[in-house]
Structures are given as C-alpha cells and as structure tokens.
Chain A
Amino acid sequence: MPRKIVIGYDGSDGAKDALGFAVELAKAKGCGLVVAHVLDWSPYSFLTPQEIEERHRRRKEELERAEAAILAPALASLKDAGVEVTTALKYGRIAETLVEIAKETGAEQIVISRNGAAGLASRVFGSVAISLAQGAPVPVTIVP
C-alpha cells in the first residue's frame, strides 16, 4: 500500500493552512494525501418525526453539498501540487471518524488544524485536535 497522510479538512482558513502544510509534508515524504471531511453525526441524537422522514434525502443533500463546497475546491487547488490526492467523506464523531479513515487507508500520519469551523462549542467541550492527540494510533500534527 502506498504511504498516505490523512488531512482533516473542513474548508476553513485554518484547514487551508493545514492543507498547505500537509502538501509540503507529503511531498517531502513521498506520500499520497487523503483529504478527509467528516460530517458531525451521532446515531444517539434525538430527531423529530419530520426530520426522521426526511433524513435519507437530507443525508444525500448534505453529502452532495460537502462534496461540492468543500472537497471539490480542495481537489482543484491541489491539481498542480504534485502529490497523489484522494478524498474521504463520512458521517460520525469527527475525531473518531478521522482515526477510522486513517486506519482504513493505512495512513501513517494525521494532519489537522487547531481551530476548525466550530468555534465556541469545541472550546467548551474539547476540540477535535485534543481528542486526536490523545487517541490517535498514528502521529498527529496539529497546525496552529
């Protein structure tokens, strides 16, 4: 399996910086890049009957939107970067799911920006970066 680096990417300015860093890292190490976006989701949340009925459709829309608004521009910006780029798009707890993606792709590192799009909530409840630093099975680089 070719060597890979997972970059957690949500389209924020911080994430763009981290992506730039990850590209340099990948070039230096001769790795491919997995641009991963996770849609925050818990199977134990509570929904109204209306939301339950529309869930399947909304999921499709959310996936399409994430693909178009977040992953496609990232891919376009990396066209001439000189590294092999793949994408991953999943639902789940962000840190947990990034770890899963790293395991599935056999990645040797995870890169993430310190502040993603979520601001206050992550400050109160602990950020993705901290959870990853504590729980990831591979080295994690946190880009400030």
Chain B
Amino acid sequence: MKINHKAAALAACALPVASAPAFAQSLDQKINDGFASATGWFVNFIFSSFPGTNFPWIVMWLVIAATVFTLYFGFVQFRAFPHSISLVKGDYSDPNDAGEVSHFQALATALSGTVGLGNIAGVAVAVGIGGPGATFWMILAGLMGMASKFTECTLGVKYRNEYADGTVSGGPMYYMTKGFKERGLPAGKAMAVLFSVFCILGSLGGGNMFQANQAHAQIANVVGDYPGWITGIVFAGIVFAVIIGGLKSIAQVTEKVVPFMGILYVATALVIILMNADMIGWAIGQIFSGAFTGLGIAGGMVGALIQGFKRAAFSNEAGVGSAAIAHSAVRTKEPITEGFASLLEPFIDTVVICTMTALVIVITGQLVSDPATGLYLLDEGASTIQTVDGNKGVALTSAAFSSAFPFFKYILAIAVILFAFSTMISWSYYGLKAWTFLFGEGRSKEVAFKVIFCVFVVIGASANLGPVIDFSDAAIFAMAVVNIVALYLLMPVVKGEMTSYLSRLKSGEIRKFK
C-alpha cells in the first residue's frame, strides 16, 4: 500500500501549504480544524495503542489474523509456494481459455495497486525509527500476511457476482453477503455495508488524496516549489480522462511503465548491494542483532518489532480486503488457484521490495552509529536514528540510492509519481465497486462517484489535509477490522476448497497443460 506514516504525510503536506495564498491557508485551516474535530475520535480509536505501549492495536489485529491463517492453513504460503509460481507462469492454464484474464495479469494488476510509496517511503520511516532490526520483523510480517491474502482472495473469487454481459464484481462485500447467507450467519449485509463505507472513504483518502499529495511533494522537490492545485488539476484531468473519458491509452501506458519501474527499482537496489558485497554479511548481522537487541534504537527491540510489523501491514494490505476486489475477476474454475496466485503479492511487495529498500539504506551507511559502542545515535528528540544528512522518509531512500547513483533521485521522483497514479486508478476502482454495491449499478451513479473522486485529487494535492489523511488511513484499517471478522467466519470454506484442490492435484486429476 502506498499509505505512509503519519509523520511522513505531514512532512509532505507542509510543502503545498507553504506556497498557498494566505487566504487559502486560513480556509484550509478552517477545513482542517473542522474535519479534525469531527473525525478525530475515529482516528484516535483506530490508531490507539495498547495501554502503556505505543503498539497500535490495529497492527496487532492484522498480525494475529495473519498468524491464525498461517496456522489454520498449515503454512500454506510455504507449502504452496512452488505451485503458486507454476499457476502464475500459466502451466495450469487451459490454452482454450487464452484471451481471458490470466493469473499473472490479476496478480500484476493487484501488485501495481500495492507497490509504491509504502515500499519506498514507509520502509525508510521504519528503518529510521526502528533501526535495521525492523527489517527482520517486516519480513516476518510479510511472510505471515501471505496467508491473509490467500484467504481473502480465494473468497473474493468464490463469491463474486457474474453478470449476464460477462462482467464480474467481487470483493469482501460479496463474500460477506453471499458467504454469510450460505453458511447461515447473521449480519452479512450490515457488515458489507460497513465495509463498503470504509472502502469508499479509504479510496478517496489513502488511495487518492494522499497519493496526489505525495506526488506533488515529489515534483516540487525536483522542480522547485509551486502551488499544489496546479498538480491537482493536471492529475485530476488525467484521472478524469482515464476513469470517465475511458481513455485507455494512459492507463495502459501506466500499467506497462509501473512494473518496469518496479523492476528497475529492485535491479538498482541489487546493483548497489552487490557493489557493497563485502558489507552484506555485516548488514544481515545488523538486521538480526537489531531484531532482538535493539542496538540502542528508540524503544529497543520492541520498537524495531512495532515498526517492522506496522510497515509490512501498511505496505501489503494483507487482510484489508482491497486485494479481494482486484483478484476476483480472474477466469478460473477453481477459486483457490487465485488464492495461491495472490499469496505471492505480499512476498513480492514486502519480502522482496521492502527488504531491498531497507538493505540499501543500511548498506550505504545512512544511519549514524557510535564507532565505539556500535550503537545507533539518536537525534535530539530521541525518537529517530540520526541519518547522515538528516534525511527522513522518502528523502532517506532517495539519499541512499543517490549515494551510489546521483541521478537516481530523478528516476525515483518519476517512479513515485507513476506509483501514485497507478494507485489512484486502482483505488478509484475499489471505491467504485463499494459505491455500486451500496447504490446499485448504473451509468449516472458511477459517473457521480468518479467525479467526486477527481475533485478529491485536487483537494489532496493542493491543501494541507493532515487530519483528512489520518482519517483516510484510519478508514483503510477500519476495512481490515470488518474484513478480518468475515475471514474468520468464512475460513472453513477456504479450507474445504484447499483440501479438495490439493488432493485432486496430488491424484493427477488437475494437471499441467504445458
């Protein structure tokens, strides 16, 4: 997910505000204050910590769910990993179904909705606060999150709606209504409505305003400061052309460039790591020892653990339910196969890409440590680790990569903008699906949502909307509260599907086509 840490969000928002006219600033201030007082209780509730700690309960909620699914499905993410790769490669795809959505395409589209700022800026925040040890916990949480994805995406395909014209709609709202009804569980409809409301709010906020805001901050960082509404209008215009005008070419170009950017990012990270080959052992040592001893970071070992878990959860969206919407359109006779394909998503997002970011930051020596004790030095507030140039968030990642390749900050800026754009396109779709679930399908209703979505692009890019962004983040995690309850209640369905499929796979009834 491209949802960033609150601190990074606020830092990014500071830029547009500095350039806004004074009257607009006071108007923004009024909007901020009004919004903050109206929604603050909700934000505080979602992000509140366990008493006496700074461990947000929502993170624990996601981690416990991932652990339960991992155990309940017998470590499916490891057992089925090779089979998942075969499915995505197309080994089990019937050639007569060519031209339908493949597992690869569903996975790639879902990934372009999750890979982004969380992998670039979020990881830097985690390592900046939690030290290298945060990486260990992030990887662990990513591995566990694979089981959550597996569960929700299987259900997304199983209970999707297929319409007469051949289009499909799926996602948590459908498994909550249809799945609950099938199993005689109460309140499915109410949960689906609640989920849809949170999903719409999340799509307008974290999936839209926050992205527009970060994109503007990146552009301003490279070309110099200018009013955010200009970026907002341009972005809104492009988004409008794609989602309302049906201008497919822009979306298609983005969908092709985003994976390329992702690969370029990982490849560059690998090159930097290999350039410092003699440091790899040391860096891995730092990650392990930091995970259990803290190496003097703020909050010690627990601090590293919280940051790692938080970043992984915020980055790969496992358990949030958004992926279930994205994956539900794949053409398959076996819903479980999409579950297998989807479990690669947290692996690629968190275990591979986030780890690369963390390794590059550690290996290029961005974090300042005391040469005598080997412990990391904290900055004045004693909340974050000192960095070489005082960088934080996306700037820290940028500095780490630029230390090897000075021009990389421009590539990174382009990547951030493209990632932001592709996330907007993905979340406009998730929001629309929730919207049509609530209000029904129909051209005018759909256009209404899309217009609202475009308006929020401008708002997100032009104003300092810290409280609104906090609220949107909270809405996305509220999705997880509702979704995971449904997953617990429906997981026996997934188990039944899995057992049946795996036995047929073993007996040879399900076989490869190539």
Contact = CB atoms under 8 A, between A and B. Distances in A.
Interface residues of B, number: 39
Contact of B248 (A43, A48, A52, A53): A48
Contacts of A49: 109, 113, 325-326, 329, 425-426, 429-430
Interface in B230-246: 242-243
B73 interface: no
Given A52-B101, A52-B109, A46 B256 contact: yes
A75 B172 CA distance: 48
A54 B163 CA distance: 11
Interface residues of A, number: 25
A47 to B, nearest CB: 5
A43 B93 contact: yes
A47 B110 CA distance: 10
Interface of A is mostly: helix
Q: Which residue, A45, A46, A91, has most C-beta atoms of chain B within 10 A?
A: A46
B499 interface: no
B112 A46 contact: yes
A50 B104 CA distance: 16
A49 B251 CA distance: 10
Interface string A38-68: 0101011111111111111101101100000
A56 B102 contact: no
B93 to A, nearest CB: 7
Contact of B167 (A39, A57, A90): A57
A92 interface: yes
B166 interface: yes
Interface string A77-91: 000000000000011
Interface of A: 39, 41, 43-57, 59-60, 62-63, 90-92, 100
Q: List 6 tightest A-B contacts by C-beta distance, closest first.
A: A91-B99, A57-B166, A43-B102, A91-B98, A49-B429, A46-B255
Interface of B: 90, 93, 95, 98-102, 104-106, 108-109, 112-113, 165-169, 242-243, 248, 251-252, 254-256, 258-259, 325-326, 329-331, 425-426, 429-430
